[in-house]
Amino acid sequence: MRIAFKKIGFSKKDVEVTKDTLTLRGKLEKKKELVDFLGVLQGKQEVECSRCGENFFVTIDEEIFLKFSDGIYEGFDEEADVIEFYDGSIDLDEVINAESESIKLDYHICKKCIQQTEGEENGST
């Protein structure tokens, strides 16, 4: 889903995009030269266990706060990540893909490996 920067006004615009089992839902609002996005990422994401390599699903329910720039952003913002777009529009498909990849790259341990670790800590194998 692409939304042109010039079509985003100072009143909040509801948006929603789904990729596989993840949904990104929130509001876009123009603030000076940036567009704020406040929303949630919800659903399930397939990840790989960092110990055994098995794939499993994790439940995702995260608040997301991002800022979008139409071109290079020269400023600095402590509150949120600023994502730069260079074609005059915000690509929410690209945003949800980036969030999905970020989750996959995190460190995940499956239930089986957690139980094995707990068993080792309690003296059983």
**Nearest 5°: phi and psi at 7?**
-90, 0
Residue with tokens 């945003």: 95
CB atoms within 10 A of CB 93: 13
Weakest mean pLDDT among 8-12, 70-74, 118-122: 118-122
In this prediction, residue 35 carries a pLDDT of: 93
Amino acid letter for position 105: L
In this prediction, residue 102 carries a pLDDT of: 94
pLDDT, the chain, mean: 90
Secondary structure (DSSP) of 28-57 = EEEETTEEEEEEEEEEEEEEE-TTT--EEE
Q: How confident is the model at residue 76 (pLDDT cuts 50, 70, 90)?
A: confident
How much is the pTM? Answer: 0.81
Q: How confident is the model at residue 80 (pLDDT cuts 50, 70, 90)?
A: low
Q: How confident is the model at residue 30 (pLDDT cuts 50, 70, 90)?
A: very high
Say how far apart CA 35 and CA 95 lie, in whole Å: 14
Say how far apart CA 61 and CA 56 lie, in whole Å: 17
